[in-house]
Chains A and B, each alone.
Chain A
Amino acid sequence: MSSGGRARLVVVGNGMAGMRTVEELLARAPDRFDIVVIGAEPHPNYNRILLSAVLAGDKTLGEIVVNPRSWYEERAIRLVAGTAAAAIDRRARRVTLADGSAVAYDKLLLATGSKPLAPAIPGVGFANVRAFRDIADVEALIAAAHGDARAVVIGGGLLGLEAAWGLKRRGLSVALVHLMPTLMERQLDAAAGVLLLHSLDDRGIEFFVNSQAEEIVGTSCAEAVVLADGRRLPADLVVLAIGIRPNVELARTAALDVNRGILVGDDMATSDPDIYAVGECIEHNGTVFGLVAPIWDQARVCGARLAGDEAEVYVPPPVFTSLKITGIDVFSAGTLAAADGADEEITLHDASGGLYKKLILRNDRVVGSVLFGSIADGPWYVQLMRDRTDVSSFRDRIVFGRPLAEQACADAEPGDATPVVASAAGAAVVGLRWQAA
């Protein structure tokens, strides 16, 4: 206990997961802790998801800040920004910082996030080879993005595509190299990936799929990316976006249980009951996280636990994601493809019209969806997933969207639909819950 009689909470990581947890905590128990936040970046908490909007020129850095410094001050939170945590002394309950200073804790929250993966190829060390991870990266990319520059993005996942599109918006010639045959294969199935490729191709991004970057060559700085098949892509700027991995070094050196991520239970506690972890650095039931929606749930559970509420447990919600590229509507949630014979797929595919919708059903319940071109029904499908709604009565219409599906059900059995208020993604929406047949 600290001298003021309040317990001390130290948060390592000044990002979205950590700060959302603090907000959840304060909402429940504003006076329970003295709080210290340690952040490696010299910035207050900002919305990392919107970095692509900054890169594209749609937003300024100021516009993506979530918690300005005044926010910390008003809540008497001590923010240590720009100095990374170096070690945890669990016995002494103390965190040592990179500058040698130390902060004592009663409860510790690890929200160390993730690190970009770098390919094991020559040339990644050049100054004009950047990840697309934080404000420093974005500032560097913007600085290098003069009109006739050529950029090569390595990695065709969510981040790589957003980086490529942002650079394209700034007028660069952009080539994208992707190891897999289709884009965003973690979030999209092949059909949607092909539509996405065609759509971005139409916008002037040059794609090299099924391609491995073998080397980044140059003398003083990167000048080209060489592919395994020998092709050479000239580059004034190279962006690495091949993936992220949980940032677990601090936890590992503190001898917490770590696998791919820091292992947590349903209460978000690590193997040390005084140490919690949330966000991209954790591993829960074998799953690591890269999308924001489940992290909000983790923050809620962890905040509640820190506030002393023992009832909250973390249940992974259906995961959904969308691509933040203007005019390209991509959405996916849950399972991407039928895993076994019990999973059933419904697809609606209009390749020429740029539309693709897939639902994965199990026992007539939605367990996943992939949408391209029309994502208006995404939230409804997520709701159906969360509610485990039996869709058999409107299954033949479900992929065509909510109005037609509801009409089908009303046609079939008038009076069977009962309006209820359901909660989806944190917002209250009025919807219809279909009674199980």
Chain B
Amino acid sequence: MAGSVIRTTCPYCGVGCGLRVAADGTVSGDQDHPANAGRLCSKGAALGETLATDGRLLYPLIGGRSASWDDALDRIAAQFSQTIRQHGPDAVALYVSGQFLTEDYYVANKLMKGFIGSANIDTNSRLCMASSVAGHVRAFGEDIVPGCYADIEAADLVVLVGSNTAWCHPVFYQRLAAARQARNTKVVVVDPRRTPTCEVADIHLAIRPGTDVAVFTGLLVHLAENGVCDEAWTRYFASDFAAAAEAARLSTPSLGDAAAICGVAAADLARFYALFAATVHTVTVYSQGVNQSSAGTDKVNAIINCHLATGRLGKPGTGPFSLTGQPNAMGGREVGGLANQLAAHMSFTPADIARVRRFWRAPRVAAKGGLKAVDLFEAALGGKVKALWILNTNPAASMPRAGRVRAALGACPFVAVSDCWATDTTRFADVVLPAAAWGEKDGTVTNSERCISRQRAFRAAPGAARPDWWALSEVARRMGFAAAFSYQSPAQIFREHAALSAFENEGHGRRIFDIGALAALSDEEYDALAPVHWPLPRGTAAVWSNAKRLFAEGRGFATADGRAHFVPTPYRPPAAATDARRPFLLNTGRVRDQWHTMTCTGRVLRLMAHQREPALDIHPADAVRNGLDDGDLAWIESEHGATVLPVRLSGDVREGELFAAMHWTDQFTSAGPIDALVGAAADPVSGQPELKATPVRVAALAARWNGVLLRGSDQVLHGPYYWGRVPLERGHAFTLTGWEPLPRDRGSELWIAALLDAPAAAELVIYADPARGTFRYASLVGRRLDACLFIAATKAALPSRDALAALLGKRIEPQARTLVLAGAAGAAAPQADGQTICACFGVGLKALHRAIADRRLTSVAEIGAQLRAGTNCGSCIPELRAILSRAQSESAATA
């Protein structure tokens, strides 16, 4: 295969871009893939840099010690079997992931719901997509995204709700930006924050968090009162319009009411309503801002209601469009990987249960829905779930009330974890299984537009790592289900999955999810499978003439009456409200170059350079009121937890609101996962927890000292100080800020020794000026700089981390040993370039400022021509544009 190119699919967001991986590991966009047509974002472009296998889990671990696969699998099977014998099938559970391939998902779901006989399998998609799934089922009778990506290119208005696509779905955003350039598409962004996506917005509605429903009930009222509704359509093809319209009128009788609830100017809202009303070709895209809410399902339906009312779906350039967060959230839903689904878009009705039993020849199909994520971990904490297997996800960091989840993992008598790397969650595992990673395993994923793509292996898994479907099948076999889990390949699993989708799927009430045409693929055909949209039933394409868009004729809804359903969505505020004690509302979200809990992207230097450390965004006026300045430490406390984060002053958040990215974990910062503070109030329909509206209080913590530490190992002890870690080419850099005085005397020595993590053979060079609070340490091992620590009263008195990084691991000549501590040895190192904006070409903020000023650059194109920034993946273009416009307004101000 040398020299050949492997086509595969990106493992990050739900856009699901096609990739070409060259023999040398170089990753480029696949021109032929319908999702991206060759484009890539910064994360995808850096995939080649995640392939390093250092730090990978290579062998199974039992009780922290290396073990054979046989022993580890026997152990899991025995624990599960014994627990089921003693406490019944509902005492065991699987918690899986949207990072799973469809084949992994299928086997996990079949084992749990078909053979163990419990529906206690849930997935991190619960945190991501559950509200969209529930909203789709309520409106369409089945979890269906009616449109496709091409619709945003055919639309005249694109409404983005709770969706920072510029950073979270960059290729989708680039398609939108290109369409806007080409045809002047209007863009409306509904988001409490002024995100980078707002670069292309004609209107930005910075609504109060959690008030999205009121935006769309207000819109429905506006559409109804202004005769914009397609009455014929709603009459023939939909039910319950009157009830939905009435509920909307009760919530938001007037524009003014809606504006008051949402906290936006009525005029802005009116402009949006008028634009929506006037634009037939409208697509409404929504993501986590909609889903991660205690009213998430109502938000979805409030949006869908407006599209149903105007008949705007299924036709080019129209429709509600749920943009998924994970690469295979859709695939997981196809197999039924959520606790409230059965399998293949079937639910827990007697007919479906019987059908699945027939297909699987399963002894005891689960008869009812299982525990959803939040409840699942509560059950573990409460002792109801006694054996838990977590695969490919990091709930100890990503779940709301993460501290409580950790307590649950600690309390659960048996925990197995499958992952590629040690995570916050593997720490709690009795058995750890090494999972094959992206590039090492074969299977399929389905993206946000129902397009099934192959993920293909292009290299061997390191050590003893194996794919998850194999581990699941092996445990099933050991539990006595060998006949039903004798899988030899992902192709075999996929064919069974496709066959189940088509099984007894005809006539009235047929399931739209039908990929029967793929049930007879040969191994070779499966290997060669090109991206394909479902539905794809066996035989002709008669039923679905155009799989890319559904419901175009107003028909085909999977509801009992065959009609689309309006759903009344009375506005409800978020579950928890701010008060005098907790006056701020904490929002969480993502940054451009990180993915989930950073287990992959946190290893890539250039991706870490965009934002090196976590930050708590706070409005400058709030900062002043609370005695905070940029970079200061803030104590932030909710009902569920507390942490300390450096603040970043930002006019992009509303007053009274805070924002923190959800990526950083204990592996990267003392602050730990922000989700430890977030409440778990769940949507009553979808069970999806509210992650973006937690009341908190904030207090300034005066910094007593600042430090920068560079060393080989990656973990630092906790203490009364904040730390953040950035990986270096060799080793790691930490920044430290303490809010209590430094320890003294012997305590200081022990603390310093622990920080430096110096081996016994290390030679220490120490500088101390205690009166100024300045301390510097270099630890040399074999004449090489093994670690160094600089402590000073102010950040300004610290040397540049980049200059020090150039010295770490390098040989230090005897006469230069003390000069390392002078902070001058790095004077020859390249000048630090500030925050990296263009991750592809490593172009920093300072370089951009210099070039814009010196060369009088006025456009993104000119920047690209001069510095190459923005010319590869384009993910940084919104930031480039913002930097340009700031520079231009500053130079105008000084002119």
Q: Are A353 and B824 in contact (CB under 8 A)?
A: no
Interface residues of B in 817-875 (CB under 8 A from A): 817-819, 821-824
A408 to B823, CA, bound (A): 10
Complex contacts, B774 vs chain A, CB 8 Å: 396
Flag whether B242 is at the interface (Cβ < 8 A).
no
Instruction: Check if B766 is an interface residue, CB within 8 A of chain A.
Output: yes
Contact at A400–B771, with CB atoms within 8 Å? no
B766 in contact with A353 (CB, 8 Å): no
CB closest residue in chain B, given A353? B817
Q: Is B227 an interface residue (CB 8 A)?
A: no
Interchain CB contact under 8 A, A397 and B824: yes
Distance in Å: Cβ of A359 to nearest Cβ of chain B: 9
Q: Is the CB of A348 within 8 A of B797?
A: no
**B769 to chain A: which residues have CB within 8 Å?**
344-347, 395-396
B765 within 8 A of A: yes
Question: Is B430 in contact with chain A by the CB < 8 A criterion?
Answer: no
**A347: contacting residue among B763, B764, B768, B772, CB under 8 A:** B768
Per the bound structure, the CA–CA distance linking A407 and B822 in Å amounts to 11
Shortest Cβ distance from A366 into chain B, in angstroms?
13
Q: B746-777 vs A: 1/0 string, CB under 8 Å? A: 00000000000000000111111111101000
B870 to chain A, nearest CB (A): 35
A400 & B818 in contact (Cβ 8 Å cutoff): yes
State whether the Cβ of A352 lies closer than 8 Å to any Cβ in chain B.
yes
Please tell me which one of the listed residues A361, A395, A400 contacts residue B822 in the complex, with CB atoms under 8 A apart: A400
> Is B350 positioned at the interface, with any CB of A under 8 Å from its CB?
no
Contacts of B768 in A (CB 8 A): 345-347, 349
**In the assembly, what is the distance between CA of A291 and CA of B283, in Å?**
91
Of all chain B residues, the one with the shortest Cβ separation from A191 is: B766
Closest CB in chain A relative to B763 CB, distance in Å: 4
Smallest CB-CB separation from A348: which chain B residue?
B767
Rounded to whole Å, the gap between the CB of A337 and the closest CB of chain B is: 13
Q: Across the two chains, which residue of chain B brings its CB closest to A346? A: B769
- Flag whether A309 is at the interface (Cβ < 8 A): no
Q: Are B822 and A350 in contact (CB under 8 A)?
A: no
- Give A346 to B773 CA distance when docked, in angstroms: 10
Contact string, A135-154, partner B, CB cutoff 8 A, digits 1/0? 00000000000000000000
The answer to the question of B814 belonging to the interface, with a C-beta cut-off of 8 Å to chain A, is yes
Whose C-beta in chain A lies nearest to the C-beta of B765? A350
Contact mask B450-491 → A, CB, 8 Å, 1/0?
A: 000000000000000000000000000000000000000000
Which residue of the partner chain A has the closest CB to B821? A348
CA distance A344 to B773 in the complex (A): 11
Using a CB-CB cutoff of 8 Å, which residues 308-360 of chain A contact chain B? 344-353, 355
Q: Nearest chain-A residue to B771 (Cβ)?
A: A344
A396/B772 contact (C-beta < 8 A), A352-B763, A353-B763 known = yes
Assembly CA distance A396 to B818 (angstroms): 13
- Contacts of B821 on A, CB cut-off 8 Å? 348, 400
Are the CB atoms of A349 and B765 closer together than 8 Å? yes
Q: How far is the CA of A349 from the CA of B779 in the complex (A)?
A: 12
Question: Chain A residues near B771 (CB, 8 Å)?
Answer: 344-345, 361
Cβ–Cβ contact A349 & B766, under 8 A: yes
Q: Nearest Cβ distance between residue A399 and chain B, in whole angstroms?
A: 7
| Known A344-B770, A400-B818; contact A350-B763, beta-carbon cutoff 8 A | yes
A-B contact count (CB 8 A): 64
Q: Which residues of B are found within 8 Å of A345, using beta-carbon distances?
A: 768-771
How far apart sit A397 and B799, CA to CA, in the bound complex (Å)? Answer: 12
Q: With A395-B772, A396-B772 in contact, do A404 and B766 touch (Cβ < 8 Å)? A: no
Q: Which residue of A lies closest to B777 (CB)?
A: A349
List B787-837 residues whose CB lies under 8 Å from chain A: 797, 814, 817-819, 821-824
Chain B residues with Cβ below 8 Å from A395 are: 769, 772
A351 to B765, CA, bound (A): 7
Instruction: Give A361 to B774 CA distance when docked, in angstroms.
Output: 14
Q: Which residues of B contact A404 (CB under 8 A)?
A: 819, 822, 824
- Given A353-B814, A353-B817, also A347-B766 (CB < 8 A): yes
| Tier of interface size on chain A | 20 to 34
Known: A396-B772, A407-B824. A348 touches B818 (CB 8 A): yes
| B765 partner residues in chain A, CB cutoff 8 A | 348-350, 353
Residue of B whose beta carbon sits closest to that of A359 = B769
Residues from chain A with Cβ under 8 Å of B767 in the complex? 346-349, 399
Complex CA–CA separation, A355 to B819 (angstroms): 12
Q: Which of B763, B766, B770 sits near A348, CB closer than 8 Å?
A: B766
Contact A397 B763 (CB under 8 A): no
CA distance A353 to B812 in the complex (A): 12
Q: Which residue of B lies closest to A342 (CB)?
A: B771
Q: Scan residues 253-276 of chain B and give those whose CB is less than 8 A from a CB of chain A.
A: none
**How near does chain A come to B823, taking the closest CB pair, in angstroms?**
8
Q: Which of B797, B818, B822 contacts A355 (CB 8 A)?
A: B818
Closest-by-CB residue of B relative to A354 is: B814
CA distance A344 to B771 in the complex (A): 6
A408–B799 Cα distance when bound, in Å, is 13
Interface-central residue, B769, B780, B819, B821, by most chain A CB under 10 Å: B769
A343 to chain B, nearest CB (A): 9
Contacts of B817 in A (CB 8 A): 350, 353, 355
- B residues 425-454 in Cβ contact with A at 8 Å: none
Q: Smallest distance from the beta carbon of B417 to chain A beta carbons, Å? A: 43
Q: Of B818, B823, B824, which contacts A350 at CB under 8 A?
A: B818
Give the chain B neighbours of A400 by CB distance below 8 A.
Answer: 818-819, 821-822, 824
User: In the complex, what distance in Å separates the CA atom of A282 from the CA atom of B771?
Assistant: 37
Chain A stretch 26-59: residues in CB contact (< 8 A) with chain B: none
CB contact under 8 A between A396 and B766, given known A348-B818, A404-B824: no
For B762, the closest partner residue in chain A by CB is: A352
CA separation between A408 and B772, bound complex, in Å? 17
- B822 proximity list for chain A (CB < 8 A): 397, 400, 404
Residues of A within 8 A of B814 (CB): 353
Determine how close the nearest CB of chain B comes to the CB of A232; give it in whole angstroms. 36
Contacts of B772 in A (CB 8 A): 344, 395-396
When chains A and B are docked, how far (Å) is the Cα of A353 from the Cα of B821? 14
Q: Which residues of B are found within 8 Å of A408, using beta-carbon distances?
A: 824
Shortest CB-to-CB span from B752 to chain A, Å, is 13
Which one of B763, B797, B819, B824 lies within 8 Å of A351 (CB-CB)?
B763
Mask: chain A, 388-402; 1 = CB below 8 Å from B; 0 = not: 000000011101100
Report the nearest B residue to A343, measured CB to CB.
B771
CB distance from B738 to the nearest CB of A (A): 19
Neighbouring B residues of A347 by C-beta, 8 Å: 766-769
> Whole-angstrom distance between the alpha carbons of A352 and B782 in the complex?
12
Interface string of A141-170 (1 = CB under 8 A from B): 000000000000000000000000000000
Closest to B767 in A: A348
Interface string of A283-302 (1 = CB under 8 A from B): 00000000000000000000
Q: Closest Cβ of chain A: how far from B15's Cβ, in Å?
A: 49
Which residues of A, 247-289, contact B by the 8 Å Cβ criterion? none
Q: CB within 8 Å of A: which of B568-605?
A: none
Residues of A within 8 A of B824 (CB): 397, 400, 404, 407-408
Nearest-CB distance from A391 to chain B (Å)?
11
In chain B, residues 76-94, which have Cβ atoms closer than 8 Å to a Cβ of chain A?
none
Chain B residue nearest in CB terms to A405 = B822
Docked Cα-Cα span, A417 to B814, in Å, equals: 31
**Interfacial chain B residues near A397, Cβ < 8 Å:** 822, 824
Minimum C-beta distance from A184 to chain B (A):
21
How long is the Cα–Cα vector from A353 to B778 in the complex, in angstroms? 12
Instruction: List chain A positions with a Cβ less than 8 A from chain B.
Output: 344-353, 355, 361, 395-397, 399-400, 404, 407-408
4 closest A-B pairs by CB:
A344-B771, A352-B763, A400-B822, A350-B765
Q: Can you spell out 18 A-B residue pairs with CB atoms less than 8 angstroms apart?
A: A344-B770, A344-B771, A345-B770, A345-B771, A346-B768, A347-B767, A348-B818, A348-B821, A349-B764, A349-B765, A349-B767, A350-B764, A352-B763, A353-B763, A396-B769, A396-B772, A396-B823, A397-B822
Given A346-B767, A404-B822, A404-B824, 12 more pairs with CB closer than 8 A: A344-B769, A346-B769, A350-B818, A351-B764, A352-B763, A353-B765, A355-B818, A361-B771, A396-B769, A396-B823, A397-B822, A400-B822
